[in-house]
Amino acid sequence: MTALDFQLDAAWRVRQAHFPCQITFVYPLDTALISLTGDQCTLQCAHCGGHYLSHMQPVWEARVDGATSALISGGCDANGCVPVASHLDRIRTIRPGRRMNWHVGLIDEPTMQRIAPCVDVISFDVVGDAETIREVYGLDKEPADYAAAYRMLRRYAQVVPHITVGLRGGQLGHERAAMDMLAQAGLDKLVFIVFIPTPGTRYADCLPPPEQEVALLLAEARQRFPSIPIHLGCMRPRTSYRSRLDPLAVRAGMNVIVSPSREGRSMATSLGLQAVETRECCVFR
C-alpha cells in the first residue's frame, strides 16, 4: 500500500463515521455569473490575469431570467478589494427571489455593512503564505490580513473559505498553513479548488499540481476537519486531469464535487455512495 492509499483509506473511514453514504454532484447551471467590473481587473494576478471575468456577465447588462441564484464578483483594485458597493442599486433589482454568493476580497467592515442585506454567502480565498501573496497577487499583505478579514466577514454572513491548491504556479506551499488559520478561526464548510494554467497569464506555462499531491491534501483535510463538509470546486483543470483527480477526491471523502468526471461518478458508485445532483453554486449546499 502506498502512502497515498494509506491516507485515502484513513480519510474514507473518517467520512464513513461522520456522514451518510451520499455525495452531491453540482452542475451550477442555475447560478448567474455577474461581474461588477466587466472584464477589467487592476490587480492582474499571476494565475488569472482577469481571464475568468470574460466568462461573466457585466452587471450593467446582466440577464438573469431563469437563474435562481447569482455569483457576484469582479476584478480587484490595487488593495485586493472587489468594488462590491458599486452598482448596488442594480444588484438590489436582481436580488428578489435569488440567493447571492459574493466574492469580495479584502474589503473593510463599513463596506461589508453596506452590502450585507444582499449577501447570503461570501466565498473567501484564504492564503497561508506571505510569499505566495506577494508573488501571485502583488500585494503587500500577510496571512494575518486574510485571517482578520475572514473573521470580520463572518460577523455579517456565512463565509465559505476557499483554498487554491498549487496557487503559486502549481507549487504547493501555502495550503496547510491556510488550514491552520481556519482551524483557529473556525469554519462551517471548506472548498478546495486547483490551479489551472491559463493562457495569457504569468503562470500560463506552469503545470497544475500533481493529482496525487492534491488528493493527499484533500485526505489530510478530511481527517483534520472530520465533521465539516468539504467540496472540490469548479475551478480545477479539465479533461484527463479531472478524470484522474476526481476518483481520488471521492476516496478522500469529499462531500461535494462540482461537474465531476465520469471516473469520479463511477468511483462514488463503487463505494456505495448515493449521488444527489444540484444546479446551483456549490457553496449553497
Angle between helices 211-224 and 239-251 (to 10 degrees): 30
Task: To the nearest 10°, report the CA torsion of 36, 58, 242, 198.
Answer: -80
pLDDT of residue 112: 98
* Helix/strand/coil (H/E/C) assignment for every residue in 206-261: CCCCCHHHHHHHHHHHHHHCCCCCEEECCCCCCHHHHHHHHHHHHHCCCCEEECCC
Structural domain span for residue 21: 3-284
Nearest 10 degrees: CA dihedral of 173, 13, 283, 211? 40
The predicted-structure confidence for 168-216, as pLDDT tens digits, reads as follows 999 999 999 999 999 999 999 999 999 999 999 999 999 999 999 999 9
pLDDT band at 1 (very low <50, low <70, confident <90, very high): confident
pLDDT tens, residue by residue, 240-283 = 999 999 999 999 999 999 999 999 999 999 999 999 999 999 99
pLDDT, average across residues 48-74? 96
Residue 28 is predicted with a pLDDT of 98
Contacts of 3 (CB under 8 A, 6+ apart): 216
139 pLDDT higher than 90: yes
Give the count of domains, the chain: 1
- Give percent above pLDDT 90 in the chain: 99
Read off the pLDDT band of 115 (50, 70, 90): very high
Q: Is 186 exposed, middle or buried (0-12, 13-18, 19+ CB in 10 A)?
A: exposed
pLDDT score at 130: 97
Set of cell numbers at residue 65 = 431570467
CATH number at residue 59: 3.20.20.70
Average pLDDT (12-37) is: 98
Cα(67)–Cα(60) distance, rounded to whole angstroms?
17
CA nearest 222: which of 19, 2, 71, 1?
19
First to last CA, the chain: 34
pLDDT at 21: 98
